[in-house]
Amino acid sequence: MSIKPLIILPDPVLRQVSRPVERVDDEVRKLADDMLETMYDAPGIGLAAIQVGVPLRMLVIDLSKEDEPKAPQLFINPEIVSSSEARGVYEEGCLSIPDYYAEVERPAEVVVSYVDREGKKREARAEGLLATCLQHEIDHLDGVLFIDHISRLKRDMVVRKFKKLAKDRQPARMVG
């Protein structure tokens, strides 16, 4: 198991559309375990493979509280089968956009089809935070970030801030 570096805004890798996992083998299970370790270390409640630079359609989630046993969940090739008309609002954050939070409105309930760790096709109904988290992660698989669901003004401010941070972190090489 290993903790992998997180891809941070404005890295264009985050805008890639991930490709389906063709076969659930030991390599895929190893990646899932590394993603979980990376997510727990961060810490976060969800992580998509693209956030560690791997453009595969898989994500992990653990919504257990600190005082509860771990409850890791793995979703491979997840697809939203249906969404409720009813909407819910959550304050979202993203490990790829550190320390920025904003309210996002999404369908309150979703049904998701996916493949599990054993390669078995499954379906899950989700509401509340799980519904929000699944939609946030599935967005990542399509290169979509939660800031794409907020006002352009707010989004532009965040993107500008992270572009500046990235620039300051890697200064242009001095000449002469």
Binding site for Ni ion (CB under 5 A): 94
Q: From the list 49, 62, 132, 150, which residue makes contact with ligand GNR (rule: CB under 6 A)?
A: 132
In the residue annotation, 137 being an active-site residue is answered as yes
Which 65-124 positions form the footprint of ligand GNR (CB under 6 A)? 90, 92-96
Q: From the list 58, 133, 134, 138, which residue makes contact with ligand GNR (rule: CB under 6 A)?
A: 133
Task: Indicate the residue among 45 and 147 with the shorter CB distance to ligand GNR.
Answer: 45
Residues 30, 73: Cα–Cα separation, whole Å: 14
Query: Which residues share a beta bridge with 106?
Result: 88
Q: What share of the chain is helix, strand, coil (3-state, %, to 5)?
A: 35, 30, 35
What is the phi/psi pair of residue 98, to 5°?
A: -60, 140
Structure tokens at 66: 């600190």
Assess 47 for contact with ligand GNR (CB under 6 A). Answer: yes
Residues 10, 136: Cα–Cα separation, whole Å: 17
* Measured distance between the N- and C-terminal CA atoms of the chain, rounded to whole angstroms: 44
Which 9-38 positions form the footprint of ligand GNR (CB under 6 A)? none
Residues 20, 98: Cα–Cα separation, whole Å: 27
- Which of these segments, 68-76, 128-136, 150-158, 165-173, binds ligand GNR (CB under 6 A)? 128-136
Binding residues vs ligand GNR (CB under 6 A): 44-48, 51, 90, 92-96, 132-133, 136-137, 140
Q: Could you give the residue numbers annotated as active site?
A: 137
